[in-house]
Chain A
């Protein structure tokens, strides 16, 4: 591997000093002069016809500046995937879940806006509602959408190879089912936004979003404005995990209120509105059959899944495809079929969350791999390594693993967890288990069909040559992308990290599809390197002319010019630089020519030195329907070992430790990579152990707060041993690929395999509440007694 100066270090993140001191600005920290406060009126009914909406009393309340309904907002449909646009800003003739937006108010105070919402009179005619996949699919069930008979939002049927024929040949066949529970993103910063028009009709929307670009396009479409007249800016964002990866109705309502009032308008979700809006991980019900030979060769997967989608599509069409496509690896399996169904019902809409679509399928399948290993008496790690794909391999559904350190990850956790000593020797009530998983390094195609670049970056050198400004529209939402791009730019330019200033998250800076599908390090990273290389080449061209040396003999390293041939006399150039800075006391006197001098001279010769960079993936994937979903220029992968204690009397599961190895390609920032791994494990533990959005029989969320929706706290989190396994990804900038989502894939199945090892029971439903585990243990004891 090449030597790097900046990349692969533990550089301090560029955003964290401001975050540590409270100086970092988040959306709700912004106040605009004369701003109004917006509030939403949302449906109290899960399914009802709207007979009439009367805003007279609300409008008459002193302090109210605007009340808007579908009449002002228009009827343009939007959503995530253009083929599946099924939402309007406000409900027109029908509401489909408790929380469906009906109207919005802007007023001089939030209290008045909220009061006005209560004065809007809506007459409803209640409709029968459905809240489960089973009820929604029943014959004669109430229909949510006119053009979706049977409440079927989407179905996918795929087969690669010949599953039936392969299963016939198999020595071992395992069939089992698994169900998770609807999740909430539970990011700590609730969604919020501030919208404002200037007097030339330009709209600026500041929002807590992962995807300024998609929000800009959606606002343009719904408000019927030119993209160029809309600027979407993302300040610091208190995380998103997928839920903030599309325009939300509050953002659109806020823009419309700003248009109507000609004033800045600020809106925030309350915590219960975050839950009502939803858009987090679906509830999946999987049935998987896996076939293998006695020597441990995995032969075929038959996979069926129902997704509890909620009221609208959102990301659902992508989710239902991802659920199938990401089961194709990381093992060499030639035969795979998938039948997926996403079903509408009268609950909030589900969408994308870390490990989009693939987490529960993986949780089930990795247990079956263990069952097969147990039956043939093979170590689960050995069985996995036997079937593991290698770099260059392609799955049966055309996903190409251009680099793949999965086997190395298994070896790393084997050693890191002391697996060989512990497996089979755990004391009573204690267990050890492992699992593998992988994930895309960026979706291969944009959400809307387009030949667009997925990222563009500008690197501009300041006129004194001392600093490089990096402008990107990408979204730092906590994962450390700003720092990664600053490091990439510094490495490419050959200058120290503190000579980089970076600004991001602003649609005026270019196009970037944003923070989702673990795409930014690879994609924006490429565009950043490309832009920095371009700027550097311009400086070196001028320098070559000025010093009369071949350009190929010039390079920049650590802020100094390197000459691979003889060092020419550069005193004239230095004198020229110093003459421009009379009176300055810190002019260069180093033995080597500095980057600062070289780029100042480049500016004097050519004007602003601006490097532009861009990236889009090469054509990826097969030709079958849905082939685009799951494709990526690269795949990160992860192996984990969980150790647990199960209290056989109470069913209480305690996670004692997790050992996690992840192949992220080349780690741009080691500390940030570990942070993503630890955060992924924490979210996986939450889903495995506690998290569940609970509804009453009217479709109302019962635990719409962070007290009763239980994410992992400092008391629950086991120590995680993180091992970064580096590979050299040919399609990644400096060999880098993803870490943010692949690292959640093995967590749940590793825990489930460890629980089986400890207690002899396989759980087919999450979360692992003591009650559920207790009953499983009781059933197991009864079966044993018979």
Chain B
């Protein structure tokens, strides 16, 4: 039995009927075509599906769409504007922090959430801030550099 939920995604309000077992990740990807949010495991281990929900980074594969009723969601698609890439996205490009790019949307959302809460993180705080996001390509070096370049 579908349930109608309403939520705000990237400053746009949505009303959508969802199955009770539909995850937020699947709703974003397959119902709303917001495919920037990636799925690397579906069990909350890899962090590729990270979005910001009511101010906190979450694994959207572990959140039911129905649980997001009334929430405010930010996805990777909401970061860039008419002015171009978000400075954090620019930093990832500039520093070479992206290789295959599959983890990048999740890493960037985690990093943004961390910087929103703590604009001047220490190296240890940066490491912790993205510790839920696995990257197999980069060894994280250039990701650290990109995030460090955006701390104030």
A interface residue numbers (CB < 8 A to B): 10, 12-13, 15-26, 28-29, 31, 185-190, 236-239, 241, 270-271, 477-480, 671-672, 674-675, 678-683, 705-707, 711-715, 717, 719-720, 722
Contact B136 A239 (CB under 8 A): yes
Kindly report which residue of chain B lies nearest to residue A24, judged by CB atoms: B101
Contact B99 A188 (CB under 8 A): no
Q: Mark B33-60, 1 if CB is under 8 A from A, else 0.
A: 0111111111101101000000000000
Q: What is the number of contacts between chain A and chain B, taking CB atoms within 8 Å?
A: 174
A-B contact pairs, 14 of them (CB 8 A): A13-B96, A16-B98, A20-B89, A21-B36, A21-B80, A21-B85, A22-B75, A189-B40, A238-B40, A239-B137, A679-B139, A706-B134, A712-B140, A714-B133
Contact A714 B101 (CB under 8 A): no
When A239-B99, A707-B45 are in contact, do A188 and B93 touch as well, CB less than 8 Å? no
- Any chain A CB within 8 A of the CB of B100? yes
- Any chain A CB within 8 A of the CB of B83? no
Contact of A672 among B90, B96, B101, B130 (CB under 8 A): B96
Which residues from A are CB-within-8-Å of B93?
12-13, 16-17, 20
Which residues from A are CB-within-8-Å of B35?
22, 25-26, 28-29
Closest chain B CB from A465 CB (angstroms) = 28
Contact of B98 among A19, A29, A715 (CB under 8 A): A19
Q: How far is the CA of A29 from the CA of B38 in the complex (A)?
A: 9
Closest chain A CB from B69 CB (angstroms) = 23
When A188-B136, A239-B102 are in contact, do A22 and B40 touch as well, CB less than 8 Å? no
A-B residue pairs, 4 tightest by C-beta:
A22-B36, A478-B100, A19-B101, A238-B102
Closest chain A CB from B145 CB (angstroms) = 10
Which residues from A are CB-within-8-Å of B36?
21-23
Contact B99 A714 (CB under 8 A): no
- Any chain A CB within 8 A of the CB of B94? yes
Contact of B140 among A23, A270, A477, A714 (CB under 8 A): A714
Residue of B30, B85, B139 most packed against chain A (CB within 10 A): B139
Contact B130 A20 (CB under 8 A): no
Contact A236 B45 (CB under 8 A): no
Q: How far is the CA of A683 from the CA of B140 in the complex (A)?
A: 11
Which residues from B are CB-within-8-Å of A29?
29, 35
Q: How far is the CA of A21 from the CA of B93 in the complex (A)?
A: 10
When A21-B80, A238-B100, A715-B128 are in contact, do A188 and B134 touch as well, CB less than 8 Å? yes
Q: How far is the CA of A671 from the CA of B97 in the complex (A)?
A: 9
Contact A675 B38 (CB under 8 A): no
Contact B94 A189 (CB under 8 A): no
Kindly report which residue of chain A lies nearest to residue B135, judged by CB atoms: A188
Which residues from A are CB-within-8-Å of B149?
none
Q: How far is the CA of A24 from the CA of B103 in the complex (A)?
A: 12
Q: How far is the CA of A381 from the CA of B119 in the complex (A)?
A: 44
Kindly report which residue of chain B lies nearest to residue A274, judged by CB atoms: B41
Contact of A478 among B39, B45, B137 (CB under 8 A): B137
Which residues from A are CB-within-8-Å of B137?
239, 478, 675, 679
Which residues from A are CB-within-8-Å of B100?
187-189, 236-239, 477-478
Contact B46 A188 (CB under 8 A): yes
When A12-B93, A187-B100 are in contact, do A682 and B40 touch as well, CB less than 8 Å? no
In the complex, chain B residues 89-123 whose Cβ is within 8 Å of any chain A Cβ: 89-90, 92-96, 98-105, 108
Closest chain B CB from A284 CB (angstroms) = 21
Q: How far is the CA of A21 from the CA of B34 in the complex (A)?
A: 11
Closest chain B CB from A404 CB (angstroms) = 25
- Any chain A CB within 8 A of the CB of B66? no
Closest chain B CB from A411 CB (angstroms) = 23
Which residues from A are CB-within-8-Å of B104?
19-20
Which residues from B are CB-within-8-Å of A25?
35
Kindly report which residue of chain B lies nearest to residue A208, judged by CB atoms: B102
Contact A22 B136 (CB under 8 A): no
Contact of A271 among B42, B126, B138, B142 (CB under 8 A): B42
Which residues from B are CB-within-8-Å of A21?
36, 76-77, 79-80, 85, 89
Q: How far is the CA of A674 from the CA of B97 in the complex (A)?
A: 11
Q: How far is the CA of A703 from the CA of B99 in the complex (A)?
A: 26
- Any chain A CB within 8 A of the CB of B27? no
Which residues from B are CB-within-8-Å of A480?
99
Contact B40 A671 (CB under 8 A): no
Contact B40 A678 (CB under 8 A): no
- Any chain A CB within 8 A of the CB of B73? no
- Any chain A CB within 8 A of the CB of B143? yes
Contact B101 A479 (CB under 8 A): no
Which residues from A are CB-within-8-Å of B142?
671, 674-675, 678
Kindly report which residue of chain B lies nearest to residue A238, judged by CB atoms: B102
- Any chain A CB within 8 A of the CB of B141? yes
Contact of B101 among A10, A16, A711, A715 (CB under 8 A): A16
Kindly report which residue of chain B lies nearest to residue A187, judged by CB atoms: B136
Which residues from A are CB-within-8-Å of B77?
21-22
Q: How far is the CA of A22 from the CA of B49 in the complex (A)?
A: 11
Which residues from A are CB-within-8-Å of B39?
28
Contact B80 A26 (CB under 8 A): no
Which residues from A are CB-within-8-Å of B76?
21-22
Contact of B139 among A23, A236, A478, A720 (CB under 8 A): A720
Q: How far is the CA of A425 from the CA of B35 in the complex (A)?
A: 53
Kindly report which residue of chain B lies nearest to residue A479, judged by CB atoms: B99
Contact B102 A188 (CB under 8 A): yes
Q: How far is the CA of A271 from the CA of B98 in the complex (A)?
A: 22
Kindly report which residue of chain A lies nearest to residue B44, judged by CB atoms: A707
Contact A682 B140 (CB under 8 A): yes
Q: How far is the CA of A711 from the CA of B47 in the complex (A)?
A: 13
Kindly report which residue of chain B lies nearest to residue A239, judged by CB atoms: B100
Which residues from B are CB-within-8-Å of A714?
126-128, 130-131, 133, 135, 140, 143-144
